[in-house]
Structure 1
Amino acid sequence: MLLIRILIISFTLLCSIWLNAKPVQSYLPAGSQFNNKIPLPSSTLGFEIGQRHIRHDQLSSYFYTLANNSARVNITSMGKTAQQREQLLVTISSPKNLANLASILSERDLFSPNKQQLTKQKSDEAPLVIWLGYSVHGDEISGANAAMIVAYYLAANDDKKITELLANTVIVLEPSINPDGMDRFVNWVSTYRNSTDNSDANHMEHHQDWVTGRTNHFWFDLNRDWLLLSQQESKHRLKYFHQYQPHVVGDFHEMGHNSSYFFQPGIQSRTHPLTPKRNVELTTTLATFHAAALDKQQRLYYSEENFDDFYYGKGSTYPDINGSIGVLFEQASARGMQQESINGLLTLEFSIENHVTTSLSTINGAWENRQQLKQYRSNFYQQSNKLAKKEDFSGYLLHESKDNYRLNALLSNLTQHKIKVYPLTADFEFKDKEYQKSNSYYLPLAQPQFRLIQALFNRQTNFKDNTFYDVSGWTMPLAMNIEAVQVNRTRGLKLAKQAWSIPATFTQNSKNQSAYGYIFEWHHFLAPKLLNNLLANNIKARVATKSFSSLINGKEKHFKTGSIVIPAGIQQNTDWQGLLIAASNHVGIPLDTITTGLTMKGVDIGSSSLKPIKKAKTLLLGGSGISQYEAGEVRFYLDETLNIPLSIIDHSKLRRVDLSTYSHIILVDGNYQHVSEHTAKQLKQWVKQGGVIIGQKRGAQWLAKQEILRTRFFTKKQINQLFDHNNLSYQDKEKLASRKRIAGAIFQVELDTSHPLAYGYQQSLLPVFRNSNLIMEQPQQPFVTLARYTPSPLLSGYTDKNLVNRLAHNAAIVAHNVGKGRVIATTEVLAFRGYWHGTAKLLANSLFFSKAFSTPYK
């Protein structure tokens, strides 16, 4: 009897929930006729859309079911995320178009050889292509839900208008751009959702823990990665984006719960100057369709405030520099099932419905303006060569003599963006410098992606509007620390016929049983990865703190400080040579074999100047208030790139941790005011006893407040005093705030290359990235400053001249002793967004060479 009663109660509760749920048709325009053989989402999910949050596997299951039952739907697996979730691409069109999709895409491919433009007739006849991307931020879940409804509408709708549209249109859906973040969010909400709906904004359902579902597995914002391509989700997607080359791209997001609904054009003065004005005009034309659709439902919205179209690394702006019209959509978010807002009760269903509405208005608006969109795309690329000829230089020479990894990383990025770069077939002399063919490449401006080349290499520092939603400078060669020289003459420049492609990995190292030892140089980007592998296998290594020369294959070779020596005589692992050879070949770093400990010049191999290196055991402080982005960047660089294990511990639990087992602790940017006094004393004592603590931005500032770091920071009052506050009206408030802010710009520092923390750097001038106005004073004591700003430090992006002048000559990176330990601090973001290879190595140096220097602070 008890079981029967429980079943009756459960059934009654289920029925009540189902009665409150909205069927799919209620999200769609009235009057359409649907094919009843096409499955509804509820037939796969077991519940109605909006009734509960969907997991990624449920989302995928429905789309596969839809494709199996509709001749209008194709599924492509683009790849898998770090957590092995499938990235789906859903193509919807007429069965005829889908059967001929490969030839359709090939016919309109502007990047294939000898096909840089379509004839007007072929352009008019080719299908319109629309790409709709949903929920790049995993906790902005209404987009992923809307994708299922939009797909059903297009697959099942028997209206003549839809049939005609699909006969002449290819629609691409990316239902969940961030599957790992999506499931992280869904698990959180599902855990804290009550059986009874709760709209209280304070309820835990609406407040995710650290880390949120916004980011992917490595805690990266994928909506900043279209241009940078540090994350595999972005690399997978971009391949297909350039296959489809869409005319219009819809990018569907969520924002704060007290907002309404936003669609672009946004603030037009903040559109990047490389984006054609015609793009903004067409975006504005499409906006009238969104407005009309939302007006029918009497929904609140706005269109020309808050958001900009400047940084080309976002899903709504990358299309703009690729001949498409990218449109950002932002829906107020319930961040759960429902939440009270200033506009009344905000529900998940309401949010989904708005995104469905504007998805369909995007399709409708693009269809009604298809000839204009096709003509725009054709003109965009036809103008490339003409625009290139107006420049006072023909292209860039890309050069890096010591580190193929960073050079190849840049070339790979350009290649994925359909930019062609050509190897030199002969050495080339330009401006009294010889560029060797083995490590130099030429990037011509005259190619279809001319505008994108400008976007990647641009070093603009003055702007019409100085307010930026995201970064203002992202210059790719500066981030990679690769020399990029503008070439205004090509006479004598001999190039390969084929553009660069990813080279095959090489295996050149081999065992030498009579070897006295081996050496590898630290200028290789992956040298820390190799070193960590050796230390993890108990292979003993030493770093040269003084230079020397040895006889290598009958010739004298000079080894700089930072070179890693693996002497044979001190090894205890019987297979050390086999492990060394395998590891070095895997990362592609050449080994030099030495046959004697007696060098030709400088210190000998047995010198005390060759310091033993210990394996680092590193802790990253995480938890509430700590930047998940900067923590993710450090994690990605150390763990994913270098395979160095990284323990992440919540600061609230640190007092229960035995810190003596760790060699290094990293504090990224964050609010550390909640770190207990006990934990602060614990950290200070640990450093004094020999630990190494690394602080970045406010992490460094907190170390200074604890008197672990002996460096002063400029106060907010001192920053404010740089600006004139007199005679300002209220409307100047936003402009003044923008002047005081460094949203993201590139600066130049002078690096002390003799310092152990700078081992591997060949040049003293180094580009760095900063996105805060936190400024360290230049210490008066010598040998403490590893990097300081040059007299005119701004290289790319916007920063007010008052801040630039204040940064000049001041410290960027400092390091000194604390008892037996060390503290290393910076105001820069060393591993910014996973692509800033130029400074990331300073982190690795801080792990391996932190005890190779000694600077007691007096």
Structure 2
Amino acid sequence: MFKTFVIKQTSGAGKIKAFCELLTLHKIKFGKIKTTRAATGYHYAAAKDNTPLSISDEDLVISAYQPLAMLTQILLEPEPEVVDSNTYDITAWSLLHAFGLEAFALKERIDPTEIFEYKKLPITEKNTDRAYAYVAEWNGLNNARFVQFLLQKSIKIRAASADFEVGGKKFKRGSLIITRGDNPSVSSNFDSEITAAALRHEQIIAPIKTGFVDKGYDLGSGHLELLNQPTVAIIFDDDIDNNSYGQMWHFFERDLNMAVTQLKLTDLGRARIGNFNVICMTDGSYANLDSAKIEKLRQWVADGGRLILIGDAVAAFEDKKGFEITKFVEKRDRDFANEIKTAEDSRRKFMHFDEFERDAISDGNPGCIYKLKMDNSHPLAYGLSDYYFSLKTSGMTYPLLKNAYNVGYVDGSVKPLGFIGNRLKKQMPNTAVFATQTIRRGSVIYMVDNPLYRAFGIKVKCLWLMPFLCLFGKF
């Protein structure tokens, strides 16, 4: 067991603030050290032990030696111990992965001696009068609340499709850009409107004095695309999983304060879905999703809609006309799978009754974490690193898609955190987890794993934020 957990201040003020609030809620003590010191520890992102690090007086330090020591270790340990693989619930849940923090776990005891106060977010720099534009980062929930608030006030926002540099400041792709020229209706009080919204949503914004950049594309170029105001419908039915549906509804209406329309699956055939630009479908049974409804959704996507499929909803579109999601890309893959199934069926014929439950564990996944390889040049992954820790709660696997963008996938050599059945583990390498498919003017987003599962963390929601905001016409 590790004795100390260190979160680097470079993780970002917004994420550290949210993390500290959660620790405080659960009465877990934290602090900082007085002077900088060297140490070695387990690096969460690299999954590598004995990594050298420097602990500064600005880093967050959590000691396992405190009244709630057991809870602290349970929530923060990178690889929890599973006593029995025959479990009913998830087997990996580290908050440091969930929040996307730059963190280390140490085997030596370091007690924080100073009070840690997370930095108050600097809303803007000084001298914002008559700014040409304001630029905001894109990496979390506060950004989405800020965007949604401005869109509801009819303020136009653009997003950068590439990194750029202006006035000595560097901005990453996905950065949000609000120009005075795009918003003539609020030109007279443009600066006060934007800064007030930033203050309300604790959003860091930087004033820009010119549209001509030092590196990258100028702010008036076609590489900045307008965001659309999302009009969202969530498909529901008696057979849709209540928990998954509730997680989605809570995210929209509670996290973002954004109203959504509930659309019953049995009414889909006669519904006027052209009124929506985003339709979401989550876990559950889709026995009522017939070929006519699937074709209607395909045509709606072709006309410019964005269809977001999660978990079981992905499976509902397997091998359907116009959709690229499939279990078998090549015929030989299907033949090989059939051979394995035949061999397994023969083996099970001779099993005893009391062996079946334990044997089934090898094909199951109660819940483990995989480090995915991410293509963060794709809009779906803006705000993320080139990796992402995804909580997998099913045995669903798909090969890398053809004629689509495989944005997040399980690399061949990655080791899971938590328990997964041995036979299922062998199927995981080079499988798609997050992918997008363009159909004429619209797109389908396939999410095999659910980023909203139990509100698992802040960083994971970045994957969910980008597609429903319709940031880019081409996904």
| TM-score, normalized by the shorter chain, greater than 0.5 | yes
Letter matched to residue 465 of structure 2: A
**d(CA) in 2 for partners of 1:745 and 1:722?**
27
Unaligned ranges ≥5, structure 2: 40-50, 329-333
**d(CA) in 2 for partners of 1:718 and 1:850?**
44
Matched, 1:571 2:187: no
How has the CA–CA distance of structure 1 residues 784 and 507 changed in structure 2, closer, same or farther, with 3 Å as cutoff?
closer
Matched, 1:827 2:448: yes
**d(CA) in 2 for partners of 1:459 and 1:707?**
42
- Using the size of structure 1 for normalisation, the TM-score is 0.50
- 1:527 aligned to which of 143, 146, 160: 143
Matched, 1:547 2:155: no
- What is the deviation of 1:426? 4.7
Matched, 1:397 2:13: no
How has the CA–CA distance of structure 1 residues 750 and 735 changed in structure 2, closer, same or farther, with 3 Å as cutoff?
same
Structure 1 residues 144-293: aligned runs within 5 Å = none
Partner of residue 9, structure 1? none
Deviation sequence 1:283-333 (CA, Å, 0-9, x none): xxxxxxxxxxxxxxxxxxxxxxxxxxxxxxxxxxxxxxxxxxxxxxxxxxx
**d(CA) in 2 for partners of 1:472 and 1:787?**
22
Residues 78 and 417, structure 2, Cα contact 8 Å, conserved in 1: yes
How has the CA–CA distance of structure 1 residues 778 and 637 changed in structure 2, closer, same or farther, with 3 Å as cutoff?
same
- 1:731 aligned to which of 350, 354, 370: 354
Residues 34 and 114, structure 2, Cα contact 8 Å, conserved in 1: no
- Bigger Cα Rg: 1
Name the stretch that deviates more: 407-416 or 455-464: 455-464
Partner of residue 770, structure 1? 392
Residues 412 and 502, structure 1, Cα contact 8 Å, conserved in 2: no
Residues 637 and 840, structure 1, Cα contact 8 Å, conserved in 2: no
Residues 125 and 207, structure 2, Cα contact 8 Å, conserved in 1: no
- What is the deviation of 1:750? 0.7
- What is the deviation of 1:635? 1.6
Name the stretch that deviates more: 516-525 or 687-696: 516-525
- What is the deviation of 1:512? 3.1
Partner of residue 447, structure 1? 66
Residues 62 and 111, structure 2, Cα contact 8 Å, conserved in 1: no
Partner of residue 366, structure 2? 743
Matched, 1:784 2:405: yes
Residues 159 and 471, structure 2, Cα contact 8 Å, conserved in 1: no
Letter matched to residue 29 of structure 2: K
Structure number with higher relative contact order (C-alpha < 8 Å, ≥ 6 residues apart): 2
- What is the deviation of 1:436? 5.1
Deviation sequence 1:189-214 (CA, Å, 0-9, x none): xxxxxxxxxxxxxxxxxxxxxxxxxx
Partner of residue 332, structure 1? none
Partner of residue 204, structure 2? 590
Partner of residue 43, structure 2? none
More helix by share: 1
Matched, 1:808 2:429: yes
Residues 814 and 826, structure 1, Cα contact 8 Å, conserved in 2: yes
Unaligned ranges ≥5, structure 1: 1-390
How has the CA–CA distance of structure 1 residues 634 and 472 changed in structure 2, closer, same or farther, with 3 Å as cutoff?
same
- What is the deviation of 1:560? 0.8
Partner of residue 669, structure 1? 283
Deviation sequence 1:32-82 (CA, Å, 0-9, x none): xxxxxxxxxxxxxxxxxxxxxxxxxxxxxxxxxxxxxxxxxxxxxxxxxxx
Deviation sequence 1:374-428 (CA, Å, 0-9, x none): xxxxxxxxxxxxxxxxx5x531112352533332232222222222111345555
Matched, 1:422 2:31: yes
- Using the size of structure 2 for normalisation, the TM-score is 0.87
- What is the deviation of 1:504? 6.8
Matched, 1:706 2:323: no
Residues 402 and 524, structure 1, Cα contact 8 Å, conserved in 2: no
Partner of residue 108, structure 1? none
SS at match of 2:316: helix
Structure 1 residues 70-149: aligned runs within 5 Å = none
**d(CA) in 1 for partners of 2:83 and 2:423?**
18
How has the CA–CA distance of structure 1 residues 765 and 808 changed in structure 2, closer, same or farther, with 3 Å as cutoff?
same
For the aligned residues, what is the CA RMSD?
2.7
- 2:20 aligned to which of 404, 411, 421: 411
Structure 1 residues 333-344: aligned runs within 5 Å = none
Matched, 1:752 2:375: yes
Structure 1 residues 61-72: aligned runs within 5 Å = none
**d(CA) in 1 for partners of 2:19 and 2:343?**
38
**d(CA) in 2 for partners of 1:437 and 1:726?**
63
Partner of residue 48, structure 2? none
Deviation sequence 1:504-529 (CA, Å, 0-9, x none): 77765778332111111112431111
How has the CA–CA distance of structure 1 residues 518 and 830 changed in structure 2, closer, same or farther, with 3 Å as cutoff?
same
- 1:839 aligned to which of 453, 460, 467: 460
Partner of residue 245, structure 2? 631
SS at match of 1:656: coil
Deviation sequence 1:652-705 (CA, Å, 0-9, x none): 122332111111111101111112443222211101111110101110121234
SS at match of 2:141: coil
- What is the deviation of 1:643? 2.3
Letter matched to residue 68 of structure 2: Q
How has the CA–CA distance of structure 1 residues 639 and 719 changed in structure 2, closer, same or farther, with 3 Å as cutoff?
farther
Residues 371 and 390, structure 2, Cα contact 8 Å, conserved in 1: yes
How has the CA–CA distance of structure 1 residues 507 and 706 changed in structure 2, closer, same or farther, with 3 Å as cutoff?
same
Residues 369 and 416, structure 2, Cα contact 8 Å, conserved in 1: yes
**d(CA) in 1 for partners of 2:293 and 2:266?**
8
Letter matched to residue 451 of structure 1: M
Partner of residue 12, structure 1? none
- 1:485 aligned to which of 104, 112, 119: 104
Residues 459 and 797, structure 1, Cα contact 8 Å, conserved in 2: no
- What is the deviation of 1:713? 2.4
How has the CA–CA distance of structure 1 residues 643 and 401 changed in structure 2, closer, same or farther, with 3 Å as cutoff?
farther
How has the CA–CA distance of structure 1 residues 835 and 613 changed in structure 2, closer, same or farther, with 3 Å as cutoff?
same
- What is the deviation of 1:810? 1.1
**d(CA) in 1 for partners of 2:342 and 2:435?**
25
Matched, 1:684 2:298: yes
Matched, 1:608 2:222: yes
**d(CA) in 2 for partners of 1:788 and 1:667?**
21
Letter matched to residue 542 of structure 1: R
- What is the deviation of 1:770? 1.4
Percent of residue pairs bearing the same amino acid type:
20
**d(CA) in 2 for partners of 1:608 and 1:640?**
34
What is the total number of aligned residue pairs between the two structures?
A: 453
Residues 123 and 205, structure 2, Cα contact 8 Å, conserved in 1: no
Partner of residue 557, structure 1? 169
Partner of residue 114, structure 2? 497
How has the CA–CA distance of structure 1 residues 464 and 427 changed in structure 2, closer, same or farther, with 3 Å as cutoff?
closer
Residues 757 and 849, structure 1, Cα contact 8 Å, conserved in 2: no
Residues 140 and 458, structure 2, Cα contact 8 Å, conserved in 1: no
SS at match of 2:307: strand
Letter matched to residue 7 of structure 2: L
Residues 30 and 63, structure 2, Cα contact 8 Å, conserved in 1: yes
- What is the deviation of 1:823? 0.6
Letter matched to residue 765 of structure 1: Y
